[in-house]
Structure 1
């Protein structure tokens, strides 16, 4: 994280940050409050958010089938962009390329997700862990796997470790369910990126097996 320190009157602001799961790339990030004293204090500033970074997935992007194995992952398959970096952490798999991220989490659960449960449990968790979390909207939608709960929202990514830049991301989180198994698919990228078609390809490709 890039930090700039200068003398200011005693002020402080703490902003909790995380990109999920996984999904911005998923990860936790925070800025510390100002360290102040009677004679002045040090103020820590977060990097500014990039309002219109690139992030379009190419129209000629090739998609390949991903068939996870082990644990709760044995119940489904999906398509992901070919060549993206993959990271596996337990029952969560993350695919990343440049500014875009796909996060897939599987779990065994006795009850199916609803707009109510997502609104009362998932939204508060994301609000607490996502920097500048905003504009949550929960609804039912349909994909080839059936009816799914869709949560859309916005948030800031973690700072780039090289440039220190922060990207304003748009998130689509789909909750799929079948026979005691839930799959949460989160697609994220810059808010101004035109990724409607690629995200539709991925979210439509989830297949139970």
Structure 2
């Protein structure tokens, strides 16, 4: 078995982490300790301009347009659609408390930064969609490692939080950083409807 050489800097970082973590009484998840990977030069993941969309109706009482032909996985609180590194995640949960930029920053965004893979939040803003007011969070992160190659790529994501009648919808679009999906993400976010 071969071992990687430890530099003075890496030994210092390891020692500092071993000292500070117990003092603070908490340890960071392994994913949050990751370094951001460099974006691809020619990123895969553009949704083609001629992509056809179909309407997906979730049992949780919402509907939206999604790309035809993407693999769908139903979950207890919504669904996930995937094609290569492109993903759409829809989750509907019960929520009695009102969402604001400040409450999301303190709770959901803090959790995302703490538990995500090298997450960097770029923007949090209030937006208006046809389904009603929403809070939009724009961030970058690393992908999960490829199960075969263990390779990761840098992703860019937009997450929308929308609330109505005690339900909170979380809608996330992700693609390789630099892929051109702006128009398609706008189309899908604007198609979201409460039923």
Q: Specify if TM > 0.5.
A: yes
Match of 1:146 in 2: 132
Who is 1:61 aligned against? 51
Structure 1 residue 199: deviation in Å?
A: 0.4
Q: Hey, what does 1:193 align to over in structure 2?
A: 179
The alignment's C-alpha RMSD in Å is: 2.4
> What TM-score results when the alignment is normalised by the length of structure 2?
0.82
Partner SS for 1:182: strand
- Structure with more helix by fraction: 2
**Distance between the aligned counterparts of 1:5 and 1:93, measured in 2?**
43
SS in 1 for 2:145: coil
Deviations 1:99-140 (A, max 9, x none): 100000001111231111111001110111112111342110
Measure, in 1, the Cα distance between the counterparts of 2:48 and 2:106.
36
Name which of 126, 146, 149 aligns with 1:163: 149
* Equivalent pair of 2:40/2:153 in contact (CA under 8 Å): yes
Counterpart in the other structure of 2:77: 91
Aligned counterparts of 2:111 and 2:63: Cα–Cα separation in 1: 27
Which structure dedicates a bigger proportion of its chain to strand? 1
How many residue pairs get aligned? The number is 177
Could you tell me whether the CA contact under 8 Å between 1:49 and 1:165 is conserved in 2? no
Q: Distance in 1 between matches of 2:2 and 2:191?
A: 48
TM-score (normalizing by structure 1): 0.77
Describe the shift of the 1:205–1:5 C-alpha distance in structure 2 as closer, same or farther (beyond 3 A).
farther
The separation in 2 between residues aligned to 1:163 and 1:50, in whole angstroms, is: 17
Q: Aligned pair 1:175/2:172, yes or no?
A: no
Q: Describe the shift of the 1:5–1:187 C-alpha distance in structure 2 as closer, same or farther (beyond 3 A).
A: farther
Q: What is the CA–CA distance in structure 2 between the aligned matches of 1:134 and 1:145, rounded to whole Å?
A: 28
- 5+ unaligned residues in a row in structure 1: which ranges? 19-29, 32-45
Q: Does 1:16 align with 2:6?
A: no
In 1: Cα distance, 2:2 partner to 2:47 partner: 37
Structure 1 stretches of 4+ with a deviation exceeding 2 A read 4-7, 9-16, 46-53
The residue that corresponds to 2:97 in the other structure is 111
8 Å CA contact 2:62–2:193 kept in 1: the answer is: yes
